[in-house]
Amino acid sequence: MISVGICDDEKQCREQIKNLLEQYFKEKGLHYELWEYESGADFLDRGEEINLLFLDIEMEGVSGIELKDYLQAEEEIRIIFVTGHVEGMPEAFGKNVYGFLEKPLDAQKLEKYLARVIEDIEEDIILVLKGVQGEMALRQKDIYYFASEKKYSHVVGREGETFCDMSLQQLEEMLGQKSFFRCHKSYLVNLGNISDANQSIRLKNGESIPVSRRKAKELKDAYLKYIIRKAR
């Protein structure tokens, strides 16, 4: 699950961010929780663990810059700054700062920054999939692969096996190609759970997955890119 915080003293801005986040996560099929803070002091008094913080630069009391400096020393929280004062942006650069949004907010920029953050924390993301008997939530890193099963998809993971009411094509479009790869017309595999990739795929659970001839080179390239990205 992604835990998102919005720290801004303007209610209108918080509402706009909330609406954009709701739309984005719904489209991506991702599960998240949201927390709001009206000041830097409110955020410091919180009890919640936050993965991503939308942070206003100019606030009374504890400013966004001061809060950023504290967080860089104490916590691993990813920050996207929100500001109507571009002159303060040079001070806002630093570790775990993923970008800057000027008020009024640009939805496309927000989505771009969100994609970068999610890429970094994707293994802990909870995927919300259409199950045969309603929605089901699965941690991405716990999924080994999806296999085509007529109009359903067979889901094999660390916690066992189940079925989801989505085709492999629908899953591929939703999940993208950075962490999952369509190695065969009947299989969509989690790159993070591969132990060896050659003529076939050996997974960390010991299973082997076939690779179609035309997908063999693409798989090697995708797996290499994944390993390099995770090593950064």
Task: In whole angstroms, give the CA distance from residue 11 to residue 36.
Answer: 10
Domain borders along the chain are 2-123, 128-231
Q: State yes or no: pLDDT of 186 exceeds 60.
A: yes
Q: State yes or no: pLDDT of 87 exceeds 60.
A: no
Render 127-148 in DSSP notation, one character per residue: EEEEETTEEEEEEGGGEEEEEE
Q: State yes or no: pLDDT of 43 exceeds 90.
A: yes
CB 127 within 8 A of CB 31: yes
CATH class for the region spanning 2-123:
alpha beta
Topology (CATH level 3) of domain 128-231: OB fold (Dihydrolipoamide Acetyltransferase, E2P) (2.40.50)
CB 82 within 8 A of CB 13: yes
Average pLDDT, the chain: 88
CB 185 within 8 A of CB 219: no
Q: Which of 25-29, 89-93, 168-172 has the lowest mean pLDDT?
A: 89-93
Q: Answer whether 2-123 and 128-231 agree in fold.
A: no
Mark residue 160 as left, alpha or beta (left: phi above 0; alpha: psi -120 to 50; beta: remaining). Answer: left
